[in-house]
Amino acid sequence: MEYWKLFVGFLRIGLLGYGGGPTMIPLVHAEAVKKYGWVTDDEFTDVLALGNALPGPIATKMAGYIGYKVKGALGATIAITAMVVPSLAAMILLLGFIYNLKNTGIVNGITQGIQPVIGVMMAVLAYEFFKKAWGSWVKSKTVIWTVIAIAALMLLNLNPGLLIGIALAYAFIEATAISRKRKKQKHVDSDRGFSA
């Protein structure tokens, strides 16, 4: 039954995910977190960060991870296949038709009509991530990283991949330092327990 849910959930994403990987992220969140509960919000955020850091299309990496988490290698294969097949089939079946209509007003109207919807979906997801970061992380760090990200992307025109790499490196260094500090404190506490 879980294989069928993986197939249906990711097939829906593949069918409705107009515009490629980044536009599919809110759809993956809706299916994997809200509808089926395959991953938590925290896990989804981690998968999204990892998917952004690795090369290749983000939606298929997320499908692979979630499918593997739910049902192993076969689950990953089913999730990726279900996500890719709709666009692959549409491209093969409709290539000539789409090519003939690509400059018509109908196709341009559809494209312009769907873009605001995708923008709103991305904005809602970004707001949810920001709200989660605000509640679970030090508030000053959330503000600082938000300002850095906006400045780097909008003012300095920095490559988003480079910015993600910098953020991941910082997070790794900070997490390592916190882990070492906790281990050191645990060691000190256990030494005190033995000496008492």
Q: Which domain holds residue 14?
A: 1-115
Same structural domain, 94 and 178: no
Amino acid letter for position 175: A
Same structural domain, 2 and 69: yes
Same structural domain, 111 and 145: no
Same structural domain, 103 and 149: no
Instruction: Tell whether 67 is covered by a domain.
Output: yes
Same structural domain, 142 and 111: no
Q: How far apart are CA 84 and CA 108, in angstroms?
A: 24
pLDDT in tens, 81-138: 998 888 888 778 777 776 777 677 777 777 778 778 878 877 887 787 777 767 665 6
Instruction: Tell whether 107 is covered by a domain.
Output: yes
Instruction: Tell whether 125 is covered by a domain.
Output: no
Phi, psi of 103 (to 5 degrees): -105, 10
Same structural domain, 97 and 193: no
Same structural domain, 65 and 108: yes
Q: Find the DSSP H helices in the chain.
A: 2-16, 21-29, 41-53, 58-101, 105-136, 139-150, 160-195
Instruction: Tell whether 103 is covered by a domain.
Output: yes
pLDDT in tens, 48-61: 878 877 777 888 88
Q: What is the pTM of this model?
A: 0.56
pLDDT in tens, 26-36: 888 889 999 99
Q: How far apart are CA 111 and CA 97, in angstroms?
A: 16
